[in-house]
Structure 1
Amino acid sequence: MFQMKSVEMVHWDFWQRLSVPLDAQIVTIIGPNGSGKTTLLDAMRTLLAIKCSGKRDYKRYVRNNKEAFAYLRGVVDNPRRPSGGLYPTPFFPIVSESVTLLCRIKKQGGDWVRHYAILDGDIALEHAEGQAQWLGVHEYRRRLEAAGLTPAVAEVLALEQGDTDKLTEYSPRQLLDLVFQVFGDKDVLDNYQRARDEQRATELELEALGRQEEALQVRVEAMKGRANRYLEWKQLQTGIARLRDEALPVLAYLDAKTAFGKQWGDYRAGYHVLNQARAEHADTLDLVAKLKAAEVSAADARGAAEMVRQAAQDAFMKAKGEHAGVAGQLKERDRLQALAGKEYGADAALLADKLSALRAEADQLKDGLRELKKQRQDSSEHLQALEIGRGRSPEDVRQFKAALDEAGIPHAMLSDIVEVMDSNWQGAVEALLRGYRHVVLLDKESDRREAWKIGEKLRYRHFVVPERAAPPRANKGSLLEVVRFSADAPEWLYRQMNSVTRVENAESGANADGDWITRDGYFRERRGARHIGVPMHEYAFGEAARQSRLLAVRDELKALNVRILAGEERLVAATREAAGLAEYLGGMDAIRQLDSRADEFSALESRKAELEAEIARQGAALAAAGAEKDAADQRHGDARLAHDRVCQREMESLSKYNQKLQEVELARRQLRRLSGELREWAERLSADALAPEHVAALEDEFDTAADAKHQLNYLEEKLQSGDWEQDDSVLALKDKLVEDLTSLDRERQRRQGEVDRSRELTDEARAAYIGKLRATVRVYGQNVKRLGELAGIQVEVELPQLSNDDAVLAQAGLVLKFNFDQKGMMGMNDGEASGGQQVMKSLILLIGLMMDESNPSGFVFIDEPFAHLDIFNIDRVAGFLKATEAQYLITTPNTHNINIFAPSELTLATRKKRPGETWAPPILQTRRRVDGGEQA
């Protein structure tokens, strides 16, 4: 490193122009406080581009003199380095012994700006301005750093006043960093660290590149998906076009041809079945006519039998009447005989009471007979209605029907249109429809408003239904299957009867699903099962119901006749007995009456016998006629049921015939359509399309045209419902992205290889440089030990463990211990050393940094190193400074002991500016001369 020889200042603080020599090993700057000692040091610091002490800067000094410019010129030596090499001198290529350092400070743009220059030789200020090539601060610092003024040395030179002992406050790690900085190893380590940082940054870039590659990979995959969707869309378009334009027409022609042949066969078979249905329907019509004739014949026979029975009944009743009259007259004989045989003189009062009782009994009998005859009249009317095919309805029903007839509303009763085809299930039908027997069905739906109005007025409790529909097809095993409707009925009735299954008993019904009913009316619905059967005499639906009610009414008439005859006999007897008592009481002579009427009574007796024989004969005839009438009724009912069943079969055969006729007509239309399609396909298709090999290939690929149509529909639906890419540019974009991904992957692999190689080389180089670091630390340890020996201080150095590991290097530190006056070892800043000892420690640490065998010179600014020293320690420090090779510029106040001047070869005395003067007085200088003695 170079040393200072002189410094010249122009307009620096309050010095107008001042030149100060510095060509000595130890230069002492002395003066009172505020006289300019630190100002001089800051001038040299500014000349060296080092920061000023404290909070000062160079602008503060150039502002004080109110001048627009300032110059600092310093002359330094340029010694040759013992090792020589590429740079034999600090300021190479300048090889002169002296080098001029120049700093120019002037105002520029309202602010102070400094420029630097390095000149070959000792150039005066007047000539230096013209020769200077001005440098910026950073370039100037770089040149000085190359000459040995490292940032670490610059930091030491910038120590403030009284802070010489600051080095002792450094931690072991900080001290080691300072050593590496001064000896140039810190830059190498920083370069290694920068290389590692760059490697980490590059790794981060590679990670980002990897993420970019992953993102691009995602884009590539997405674009591949889009390209695949485009290719699939294109394939679908091609497949649809092939199916629609190539395969489907040929297959449709082949299917139409096959379907035509099959349809022709089906048409011939259907036509044959139609002929059979026509013949069956004709046979059924003939049977209907025959059974209708049989029904008419049975009806005529029934009418004849009824006339015979009625005649027999009239004759029987007539004989019964005559016999009753004769028997009544003979009872008068018996009464007279009874009176004649009695003794007279009975109590008249008792006979009068008996007569009163007999007359009361006769009145009661008359009332009872009157009621019974009325019932017989009603039953007779009911019987006549049933015999002509009509039943008697309740009063409210008759009133409602009469009101509808009066309003001109055509209607029918539900019971009139229902016929049970299987008498075994009559009871089940009656049970299920019991609540609907008086339902009124309107012929015209438009009459519903008027009909409902009448029903509301008469409070008719049964349904009035305007909506009617044709019977549907009965489910197998349902209750509807055994019922025939002669007219349309409500649709809800069909649904209900069609949903009820016929079962033999409850045990078999338990295995059936839904509602069911037995023959006698045990019914199961959603709410449960119960018996809803109806007695036979209350049947209301169909011929079987009429026959049952007819028999019941006839039985009722027989019973009424028997009761009426018995009542009349009792009435006659009571009347006659009352008359006899009346006559007895009236004083009539019974014996006289018997004598006078003997011939009459004898004739009556003979007539009675004749009448009894006639009654017996007429009764037998009446019984025979009644039996014949019942047989005729039965034959008529059977004929009617047979006719109804055949009518049902006729309707079914007609329906079957119509259905077959429709099927044949439909087949005929299908044949015409298929024939037209065949002609159309044949005209549209070319000979190549119908070539055998082409047809065979299509038949191998598709079974039928329906299969091809299904596949076409599937492809079209897939095309419509899918999210397709329809731009062919996605293929080129996909290829571009794949190429970009490949290039990016190659670039990433290349850079990864470079990073791996760089890391490997950096690790190897730093591992090799660790030896240089160890040598630097050993040299510095030897320097401080040698300096300690010069100062009479024992120094121990604990060398750090250095290895090629970031953590070890980051934690490594240099530990120094000092032993003053054999009092034991103490640390750097452990509080055990005095102020003077701290100064000695700092000087040893500081000067040890300057002891570079390859660059042994250099200079140091030491601001007031003797501030805390006593006379003895001042001498020790002075002797220590003399023993070193470095140049020292030391400041000290003029109040110290004279011993501070002992080591000084050149003493500079600063003086304060006098009041009223513009410029400060010049610096005084005193140089030590050695002529066999020392002079100050």
Structure 2
Amino acid sequence: MRNWDFWRSIEVPLDAQIVTIVGPNGSGKTTLLDALRTLLSLRCSGRRDYKRYVRNSTEPVAWLRGVVDNPRRKGGGLFPNPFFPLTNEKVTLFCRIKKQGGDWIRQYAVVDGEVELGPASEDQLKWLGVNEYKLILEQAGLTRAIAEVLALEQGDTDKLCEYGPKPLLDLVFQVFGDKQVLDNYQQAKSEQREAERELGELTRQLDGLAARVEQMRSRAQRYQDWRSLETEVERIERHVLPALRYLDACDSRDGYVNQYKGVRRELDARQTELESIDAELRQLQARADAAKANETHLDQQYKALFGPFQQAGSEAKSAEKLLEQRNKLKALAERESGTDAVELAEQIALLRSQQTELQARIKTAKQEREHLAEQQSALQGGSQPSEPFVRQMRAALDEAGIPHQMLTELVEVVDTDWQAAVEALLAPYRHIILLNRESDRQAAFQIGQRLRYRHFIVPEREPVPSATPGSILEILDFKGDAPAWLVRQLANVQRIKSVEAGARQAGDWITPEGYHKERRGARHIGIETRDHAFGEAARRSRVEAISRQLRDLNQQILDWEGTSLELGRQIASQQMQLAGMDAIQQLAARQDEFDAAEKMLPELRVEAQRLGGEIATLQAAKDEARKETDATKELLHRAQHEQTQLLKQVKELMTQVESRQAEQTRQIAEVERLRDELETSGMDFSTLAGLREEWGSEKNALHEIHRQRERIEHGDWERDASVLELREKMQQDFNGLERETQNRGREVERARELTDEARSAYINKLRATIRAYALNIKRLGELAGIAVEVDPPHLDNDDGVLGQAGLVVRFDFDQKGMMGLNDGEASGGQQVMKSLILLIGLMMDETNPSGFVFIDEPFAHLDVLNIDKVGAFLKATQAQYLITTPLTHNVNAFAPSELTLCTYKKRPGERWAPVISQARRRTAALARADQ
């Protein structure tokens, strides 16, 4: 070794059966073994490689040189020597490692004889690459399996015993396999695979050609289908479609004629109804005018009689009051004179206080009467009175020039039986203001914010659609556009007669009395009649309620005024008494007044009763006249609503009549034109019935044309007629390739038979190899005193069986029973013995009974007894061993060694490490000579 790691130039002998390399840790034992591994082109131990060692020397070139035996094999043969054609008994191996292109590369040389390293020899060497050099060493006996064994890590000499049955059998086949048999088998197998590959290729070509033939058939079929579709579409367009168009035109013409007749009949019926409703409207209008005139006449009579009635009643009450005063004066005259003036003054003050309070009530009642009279007048005029905050808001909108309407002004209840239900639903919305222009929204919202108007101002309005049958919306008549959300709400509420009927109704509903069911539940939402605000019925009910209030209020005012007058008289009387006039003087002074009152009182009472009776009669007649007026107005309103609907229907029907008449004329002309075209084309009209039965209508034919055109346009069609010729040509090519594939298939079958025969020969040789290896390891076991059993694998002419076959080896140490390779029962020394037996057995054959092995620290985990056993075994075998051991080992580790090499650590400050010292064991012959 030159420039190897920290050795400048080292030469060591290895000509002993067992060579022990000893030294402290880090002194170069593994370095020496890695030099041998590098010389034999093996991988170094651990993570090291040869580059590490040459970099440490800092020299540009490093050398390794080894001299090995090249004995002649027994029997000679084609390769009589391991390194044939080199026939010298010694062969020199060279390894040169030098830096080239920034990296370290290695080159090898094999030289016949023992050649020293020098400048002359370097020039004469024929340098080899790594792979070529490995082939030479493998031919000489360093197989890949042995190379793997030689490259075991430090302390891993027992790794071979950790092999499983299958890996161990594979290793044995690699070392002992007969090359000729293997080559014959591999050649036969290769030929078979090649033949099968070629057959597979032909088959794939055949399959591909078959696919192309099928594709060409498909293309030809698509061409034929395309031609069929084109022909069919042409037939439909030229013959079927015109005939169906004519038939459909005839049907459409007949249908429009029937429709025209039906619309004409409907128009006549609606015009008759309109004439009838017009006559009814005239009668109802005359009846309403008469009822209104009668009501006005009775109201005038009532007002004319009400004044005298009030005056008669007032005079009668005045006479009664005078007589009551006379009676009180008589009572006072009968009392003793001398009444206390202070007490009388207090009574006058109390009476004045009562009179003042009563006059305030009368004033308030008169103001309320005026307000009710205004409401009554407004209601009788057709408008609805509103709350003060509503009037304030509407006045502000009018001042700002914003046209608007109240919701109450738009809604009319057609069916008064559901008035209470409608009022209940719309009660929260009676004060909604609807803007006529949506553009006024911002200004209206600002006014509503300023006045704090708490009800909705709605700018968005839409025409009211047709109502859902049975809904509240169905009985309402909107006089203009309304909020869409309110219309939807009313359309979703169904009318039901009772709560029991509501059990069968899904969704929202309401009864006539106002019991309402919605998503949250059911409740009564009805309101008082006097609070009704929507429609004519609400107006009438409010007029009646105000009339009753006015009647009661007038009576109350009369009573309060009479009481006030009496209080005034009492005050005057007591003031006179307080001034000094006694009761007797008053009686005397007012005797004529009292007598006249007593005389006139019966007449006044009779007159008041007579006038009261007439007033009551006029009031009843007036109420009946008002009811008649209201009923007539309701009938008139319904008739007007019906007239409006009929006018709308008549207008629509007249438009339909005109359009259908024009369309009917056009279709008659179209039918004549289509018939002329069919006659010109030579159409047989007797076939029209069959075409109608087949196709149904022109629409179906057009749909079929469109469908076929879509298929033609978007389908994958062939439009070239040459595909038919290509199909025939490709079919002929396919038939020829099919015949060739069948011929090659017979050849492949023949190759398979030859492969089976080669495999049979290979299996027989494998069995012989396993028997030879079993004898080797049993012989080695006898040398070590270990019983070895081998279970030969089951080998058969089948790839699966061969792939799963494994070699089972068992060992018996000290007659304690058989154990397997790596079953955990063996000690460290026994593991080493197993590995050594398996290892040496691989190297034993008739031509090479020994072998060459170097092992890194085989005694690392052994006790003294096992060290002796392993050493005795090594000496008993014929192989050559290079063994490393640290200085700390037991001295027994050197017992089997014939040559000991001692390595040393590099001293600090020195560039190169000390040379390796040698100690050779003295043989028995040399010992006797010394004696």
> Could you say whether these structures have the same fold, taking a TM-score greater than 0.5 normalized by the shorter chain as the test?
yes
Aligned: 1:673 with 2:666: yes
Q: Which moved more, 1:692-701 or 1:542-551?
A: 692-701
Q: Tell me how far 1:335 sits from its aligned partner.
A: 2.8
Q: Which moved more, 1:594-603 or 1:541-550?
A: 594-603
Aligned: 1:53 with 2:46: no
| Aligned equivalent of 2:388, options 395, 402, 407 | 395
SS at 1:200 equivalent: helix
| Aligned equivalent of 2:447, options 454, 459, 463 | 454
- Inter-CA distance 334–458: structure 2 relative to 1 (3 Å threshold): same
- Per-residue CA deviation, residues 318-343 of structure 1 (Å, 9 max, x unaligned), is 22222233333333323322221222
- Inter-CA distance 433–174: structure 2 relative to 1 (3 Å threshold): closer
Q: Tell me how far 1:258 sits from its aligned partner.
A: 2.2
SS at 1:511 equivalent: coil
Equivalent residue, structure 2, for 1:288: 281
Equivalent residue, structure 1, for 2:488: 495
- Inter-CA distance 632–210: structure 2 relative to 1 (3 Å threshold): same
| Aligned equivalent of 2:458, options 465, 470, 486 | 465
* 1:239-638 mapped onto 2 (5 Å cutoff): 239-638=232-631
Do 1:468 and 1:491's aligned partners in 2 also have CA atoms closer than 8 Å? yes
SS at 1:361 equivalent: helix
* 1:776-815 mapped onto 2 (5 Å cutoff): none
SS at 1:474 equivalent: coil
- Inter-CA distance 394–809: structure 2 relative to 1 (3 Å threshold): closer
- Inter-CA distance 300–491: structure 2 relative to 1 (3 Å threshold): farther
Q: Tell me how far 1:290 sits from its aligned partner.
A: 1.9
In 1: Cα distance, 2:755 partner to 2:320 partner: 160
In 2: Cα distance, 1:438 partner to 1:765 partner: 111
Aligned: 1:194 with 2:187: yes
In 1: Cα distance, 2:595 partner to 2:489 partner: 74
Letter in 2 for 1:359: R
Equivalent residue, structure 1, for 2:657: 664
- Inter-CA distance 273–328: structure 2 relative to 1 (3 Å threshold): same
Letter in 2 for 1:385: A
- Inter-CA distance 460–722: structure 2 relative to 1 (3 Å threshold): farther
* 1:5-154 mapped onto 2 (5 Å cutoff): 51-53=85-87, 55=91
In 2: Cα distance, 1:111 partner to 1:581 partner: 169
- Per-residue CA deviation, residues 71-104 of structure 1 (Å, 9 max, x unaligned), is xxxxxxxxxxxxxxxxxxxxxxxxxxxxxxxxxx
In 1: Cα distance, 2:578 partner to 2:173 partner: 173
SS at 1:344 equivalent: coil
SS at 1:516 equivalent: strand
- Inter-CA distance 585–725: structure 2 relative to 1 (3 Å threshold): farther
- Inter-CA distance 205–383: structure 2 relative to 1 (3 Å threshold): same
Equivalent residue, structure 1, for 2:818: none
SS at 1:501 equivalent: strand
Do 1:467 and 1:490's aligned partners in 2 also have CA atoms closer than 8 Å? yes
Do 1:517 and 1:523's aligned partners in 2 also have CA atoms closer than 8 Å? yes
- Inter-CA distance 711–689: structure 2 relative to 1 (3 Å threshold): farther
SS at 2:517 equivalent: strand
Query: Larger radius of gyration, structure 1 or 2?
Result: 1
Q: Tell me how far 1:611 sits from its aligned partner.
A: 1.6
Q: Tell me how far 1:408 sits from its aligned partner.
A: 4.3
* 1:213-224 mapped onto 2 (5 Å cutoff): 213-214=206-207
In 1: Cα distance, 2:431 partner to 2:188 partner: 112
In 1: Cα distance, 2:577 partner to 2:173 partner: 173
SS at 1:690 equivalent: coil
Q: Which moved more, 1:310-319 or 1:695-704?
A: 695-704
Q: Tell me how far 1:195 sits from its aligned partner.
A: 4.2
Q: Tell me how far 1:449 sits from its aligned partner.
A: 4.6
- Inter-CA distance 718–564: structure 2 relative to 1 (3 Å threshold): farther
Gaps of 5+ in 2: 1-70, 94-108, 116-123, 128-138, 141-171, 766-794, 806-836, 851-931
- Per-residue CA deviation, residues 605-656 of structure 1 (Å, 9 max, x unaligned), is 2222222111111111111111111111111111111011111111222222
Do 1:250 and 1:689's aligned partners in 2 also have CA atoms closer than 8 Å? no
Letter in 2 for 1:712: I
Do 1:45 and 1:52's aligned partners in 2 also have CA atoms closer than 8 Å? no
The CA RMSD over aligned residues, in Å, is 5.0
Q: Tell me how far 1:760 sits from its aligned partner.
A: 4.5
- Inter-CA distance 198–374: structure 2 relative to 1 (3 Å threshold): same
- Inter-CA distance 215–705: structure 2 relative to 1 (3 Å threshold): same
Q: Tell me how far 1:493 sits from its aligned partner.
A: 3.0
Equivalent residue, structure 1, for 2:822: none
SS at 2:405 equivalent: strand
Letter in 1 for 2:613: A
Do 2:213 and 2:731's aligned partners in 1 also have CA atoms closer than 8 Å? yes
In 1: Cα distance, 2:316 partner to 2:721 partner: 123
- Inter-CA distance 724–319: structure 2 relative to 1 (3 Å threshold): farther
- Inter-CA distance 726–645: structure 2 relative to 1 (3 Å threshold): farther
Do 1:470 and 1:488's aligned partners in 2 also have CA atoms closer than 8 Å? yes
Q: Which moved more, 1:421-430 or 1:662-671?
A: 662-671
In 1: Cα distance, 2:430 partner to 2:252 partner: 54
Do 2:192 and 2:755's aligned partners in 1 also have CA atoms closer than 8 Å? no
In 2: Cα distance, 1:172 partner to 1:344 partner: 167
* 1:657-806 mapped onto 2 (5 Å cutoff): 657-685=650-678, 687-688=680-681, 690-692=683-685, 694-717=687-710, 742-760=735-753
Do 1:763 and 1:804's aligned partners in 2 also have CA atoms closer than 8 Å? no
Q: Tell me how far 1:759 sits from its aligned partner.
A: 4.0
In 2: Cα distance, 1:599 partner to 1:839 partner: 185
- Inter-CA distance 500–831: structure 2 relative to 1 (3 Å threshold): closer
- Per-residue CA deviation, residues 694-725 of structure 1 (Å, 9 max, x unaligned), is 53553342112122233334444555666667
- Per-residue CA deviation, residues 12-56 of structure 1 (Å, 9 max, x unaligned), is xxxxxxxxxxxxxxxxxxxxxxxxx99xxx9x999xx97232559
Q: Tell me how far 1:368 sits from its aligned partner.
A: 1.8
Letter in 1 for 2:586: Q
- Inter-CA distance 380–838: structure 2 relative to 1 (3 Å threshold): closer
What percentage of residue pairs aligned between the two structures are identical? 38
Do 1:689 and 1:695's aligned partners in 2 also have CA atoms closer than 8 Å? no
Letter in 1 for 2:294: A
- Inter-CA distance 173–345: structure 2 relative to 1 (3 Å threshold): closer
In 1: Cα distance, 2:185 partner to 2:378 partner: 132
TM-score normalized by the length of structure 2: 0.61
Do 1:522 and 1:532's aligned partners in 2 also have CA atoms closer than 8 Å? yes
- Inter-CA distance 830–545: structure 2 relative to 1 (3 Å threshold): closer
Do 1:335 and 1:580's aligned partners in 2 also have CA atoms closer than 8 Å? no
Do 1:355 and 1:581's aligned partners in 2 also have CA atoms closer than 8 Å? yes
Do 2:756 and 2:797's aligned partners in 1 also have CA atoms closer than 8 Å? no
In 2: Cα distance, 1:700 partner to 1:390 partner: 68
In 2: Cα distance, 1:497 partner to 1:652 partner: 21
